[in-house]
């Protein structure tokens, strides 16, 4: 009998399509020529049933016995234990075990941008550019890139922005403009041979960093959108999909894993480090983080910076007359982002949530 293989999670095999009327186990066990489930999957099914019936104390005891992490909610503990036995059984059966990383490295990015309280149409400019480099094989952080950027459309930071991000006016005044910082960031990537000798992917907390902040900034700076930022891993989506839970924010994901936020919230570098901690835990629990969102990017239009200045001035005058926009108007603006993902409706809701939080 041929060595059993795990099918692609985004593809359903021919045999499974033909057997759609039958109940198929969540592991999507691949049937052999006699249309029988491989014995290793039957054993895994029985093990998973036993794990599902375990109490939290029993899960903790078993994980400690196996010298595995005991932090997290009950669902995460069950997932961790199931994946451990799955890896062990498949390796014993000489099948490719799950958990092998698609990429050599992950770059975790969490921008901080200019903002104004109660102004949903404020022209955001990136003022903090952090990047944390994670080795997927050793599951350790190996390097960091961190610089500030000088805003041009709204060079004076609002009190709200300084309070939220902790970034002072003096810091951004001394900083270089975004294009120069982006060039140094890409030189830093080249120094690690990313995209040359090593595969990598960008990781963000939600869709906003790439689809909104970076796209707006590139248009303002009249520079091409970076090729490496057109596809990325939304850690919220990967987390909720892998652990079969609702979509959570950064602090909720950490809490669910039994972790606490380290550092200062809304500091881009500290946020990036904490996102990296979640990515490490996902990798340790057997999750293969893959790109799950991408963006169609139009080239920057001529005179975009001047047009945005005029638009920003008009928006601020309008905001004095009307402080909030309707959901329909916000949704119309979101359509212009052309965000592509497996669930566009959820991403719209995520972006709307961001606007509501900012206005609150």
The catalytic residues are: 112, 266
Give the DSSP letter of residue 229. G
For residue 184, what are the CA distances in angstroms to 70, 155, 164, 193, 230?
40, 22, 26, 14, 19
Return the SS3 of 295. Answer: strand
Spatial separation of the C-alpha atoms in residues 232 and 294, rounded to whole Å = 6
DSSP 340-357: EES-HHHHHHHHHHHHHH
- 315, 329 Cβ separation under 8 angstroms: no
Helix (H) or strand (E) holding 10: none
CA nearest neighbour of 202 among 287, 111, 128, 105: 105
Q: Strand pairing partners for 37?
A: 31
Token duo for residue 131: 């990047």
- Buried b / exposed e along 70-105 (16+ C-beta atoms within 10 A): bebeeebbbbbbbbbbbeebbeebebebebebebbb
């Amino acid at each position: 009998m041929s060595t059993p293989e795990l099918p692609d999670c985004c593809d359903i095999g021919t045999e499974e399509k033909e057997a759609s009327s039958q109940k198929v186990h969540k592991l999507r066990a691949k049937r052999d020529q006699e249309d029988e489930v491989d014995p290793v999957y039957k054993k895994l099914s029985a093990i998973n049933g036993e794990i599902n019936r375990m109490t939290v104390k029993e899960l903790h005891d078993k994980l400690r016995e196996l010298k595995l992490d005991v932090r997290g909610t009950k669902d995460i503990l069950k997932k961790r234990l199931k994946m451990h036995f799955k890896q062990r059984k498949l390796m014993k059966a000489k099948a490719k075990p799950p958990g092998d990383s698609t990429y050599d490295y992950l770059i975790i990015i969490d921008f901080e941008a200019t903002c104004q309280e109660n102004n949903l149409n404020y022209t955001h400019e990136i003022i903090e550019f952090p990047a944390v480099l994670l080795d997927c094989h050793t599951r350790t952080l190996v390097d960091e890139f961190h610089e500030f950027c000088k805003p041009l459309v709204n060079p004076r930071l609002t009190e709200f922005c300084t309070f939220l991000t902790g970034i002072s006016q003096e810091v951004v005044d001394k900083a270089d403009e975004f294009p120069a910082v982006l060039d140094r960031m890409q030189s830093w990537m080249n120094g690690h041979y990313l995209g040359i000798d090593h595969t990598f992917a960008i990781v963000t907390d939600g869709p906003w960093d790439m689809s909104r902040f970076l796209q707006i900034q590139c248009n303002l700076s009249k520079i091409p959108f970076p090729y490496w930022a057109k596809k990325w891993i939304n850690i919220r989506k990967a987390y909720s999909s892998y652990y079969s839970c609702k979509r959570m924010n950064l602090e909720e994901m950490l809490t669910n894993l039994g972790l606490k936020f380290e550092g200062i919230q809304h500091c881009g570098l500290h946020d990036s480090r904490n996102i990296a901690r979640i990515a490490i835990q996902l990798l340790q629990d057997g999750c293969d983080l893959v790109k799950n969102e991408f963006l169609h990017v139009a080239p920057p239009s001529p005179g975009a910076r001047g047009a945005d200045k005029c638009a920003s001035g008009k928006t601020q005058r309008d905001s004095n007359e009307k402080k909030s926009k309707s959901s329909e108007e916000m949704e119309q603006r979101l359509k212009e982002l052309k965000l592509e993902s497996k669930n566009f409706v959820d991403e719209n809701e995520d972006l709307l949530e961001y606007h509501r939080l900012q206005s609150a």
